[in-house]
Structure 1
Amino acid sequence: MDLKFHHLGIACKDIDQTAERYSLLGYTRGEQIFDPLQNINICFLTHPEMPLVELLSPADIKSPIVQILEKNGTTPYHTCYSVTDITEAIGRLKKQQYIVVSTPKIACAIDNHRVAFLYHKDMGLIELVEE
Structure 2
Amino acid sequence: MQFSMQAFALRFHHFGLASRRPEQTLNFLRGLGHEVIRQVYDPLQNVNLWLCPHASMPTVELVAPAQGPGPLDAILTTSSESIYHLCYETENLKASLEALKEGGFRVICVSSPKPAILFGNRQVSFYMVKDFGIIELLESS
Task: Give the Cα separation in 2 of the matches to 1:66 and 1:60.
Answer: 11
Structure 1 residue 107 corresponds to structure 2 residue 119: no
3-state SS of paired residue (2:20) = coil
Residue 81 of structure 1 is aligned with which of 77, 83, 88? 88
What is aligned with 1:10? 17
Matches within 5 A, 1:33-112: 33-95=40-102, 96-112=105-121
CA apart distance, 1:93 = 3.0
Task: Give the Cα separation in 2 of the matches to 1:14 and 1:88.
Answer: 37
Q: Is the 8 A contact 1:15 1:43 kept in 2?
A: no
Larger % of helix: which? 1
Q: Deviations over 1:26-47 (max 9, x none)?
A: 1111231001111000001111
Unaligned runs of 5+ in 2: 1-7
Q: Is the 8 A contact 1:94 1:100 kept in 2?
A: no
What is aligned with 2:5? none
Q: Deviations over 1:41-91 (max 9, x none)?
A: 000111111111000001023011022112122110100000001122233
Residue 27 of structure 1 is aligned with which of 20, 34, 37? 34
Query: Structure 1 residues 106, 37: closer, same or farther in 2, change over 3 A?
Result: same
Based on CA coordinates, which of the two structures has the bigger radius of gyration?
A: 2
Aligned Cα root-mean-square deviation (Å): 1.3
Residue 132 of structure 2 is aligned with which of 120, 123, 127? 123
3-state SS of paired residue (1:62) = coil
Unaligned runs of 5+ in 1: none
Count of aligned residue pairs for this structure pair: 131
- Runs of 4+ with >4 A deviation: none
Task: Give the Cα separation in 1 of the matches to 2:79 and 2:130.
Answer: 18
3-state SS of paired residue (1:91) = helix
